[in-house]
Amino acid sequence: MALVRRNILHDENALKKYVTGVELLKKERTGRTTRNFGIPGPENPVYTYDLFVIWHIQAGTFPIPRNGDPMVRNYAHRGPVFLPWHRLMLILVERNIQRILGEDNSFALPYWDWSADGDDGSPTDAPIWTPEYMGGQGNPVSDGPFGFYPNDPNNFTVRLESGPDGRPSQAGNGQGRGLVREFARSWPEGWETLPTSADVKAALDFAPDSPNPKPEDRYDVLDFSVNSDGFRSRLEGWHPSGRPWTHNQVHLWTGGDMLPLSSPNDPVFFLHHCNVDRTWESWLQSYGRMYTPDMTAPDTYAGERIDDRLALPTNYPYTPRNMLDQSSWCTYDQLP
């Protein structure tokens, strides 16, 4: 039977398991060290949770094409691969939490429906930010399960981050530091909001106005970048132009460790992306499980074509095509 991912505010059991699973993965050594990943500084162990931080940084700095600019397109963002890449990441986090909880195959990742908070005026004291859930803002965060408490050896510790060159770097000179959140600090005046349900609906309802569009043009179009207009670009947060929207808007509003490529450092990252994936699933059910570009696209799009291997980077042999239908693995309690 497929897992059912539920709203974290409505599933206390999923909340408890998620917090416990994250804490255990943060303590589980992989047998590899920072030296194995070419991360400068003192040699320190790399823990399972922090692998996801490394993968996110690395994929975000690998350009497509390989001699291109990762700020135009990369192996995880700014192009059509954004949604299948992060779907695979969610599945791997989910499986690892199941494993670390003693092969608890009933655990499903919960999601944070940020559009509900957006509709409510983006309160900084919304339930998700209370100590009973994810804790609030701070430099460092000082409450909730991922707060930093002086002299507590079991503190939730940020060990790796994006360095000045964009590559993985050790936080706190190799000693680690507390988690940082700074709500709405990165916004111009008047933009201090989370996405609303209307923003989500606008992305889901997008239809190309070009003559004789192909069905897959709803998803993405040439040149498959931040400049492309389609559902993917609107959900990722590049259109309409003029300000960041939806996915990007949530990262910027939360601030702190959610801003750089090392954003999986904040466990809210996975709750956020679970909601992004929920929105994609709504689109797939409405318009068909389709994707573009296909394999007729030139090698300049290698890495994001439908049968190209997704690069976490890992050795997992999954492609965007494999990510189009996850119904045998999981479903959502409700779709936007």
Judge whether residue 190 has pLDDT over 80.
no
User: What is the Cα–Cα distance from 116 to 190, expressed in whole angstroms?
Assistant: 19
Handedness of CA 115, 116, 118, 119 (dihedral sign): positive
Average pLDDT over residues 108-134: 97
Record the pTM.
0.97
Burial of 307 (0-12, 13-18, 19+ CB in 10 A): exposed
Average pLDDT over residues 5-23: 98
Q: Which residues pair with 8 in a beta bridge?
A: none
Judge whether residue 124 has pLDDT over 90.
yes
Mean pLDDT of the chain: 94
| pLDDT at 45 (0 to 100) | 96
Kindly report, residue by residue over 290-303, the tens digit of the pLDDT: 999 999 999 999 99
Kindly report, residue by residue over 93-116, the tens digit of the pLDDT: 999 999 999 999 999 999 999 999
User: What is the Cα–Cα distance from 328 to 300, expressed in whole angstroms?
Assistant: 33
Average pLDDT over residues 275-292: 97
Maximum average pLDDT range among 66-70, 258-262, 315-319: 258-262
Judge whether residue 12 has pLDDT over 90.
yes
| pLDDT at 324 (0 to 100) | 98
| pLDDT at 31 (0 to 100) | 96
CB neighbours of 156 closer than 8 A, spacing ≥ 6?
23, 26, 145, 146, 147, 148, 178, 179
Question: Which amino acid is residue 246, in one-letter code?
Answer: T
| pLDDT at 90 (0 to 100) | 97
User: What is the Cα–Cα distance from 231 to 222, expressed in whole angstroms?
Assistant: 13
| pLDDT at 164 (0 to 100) | 86
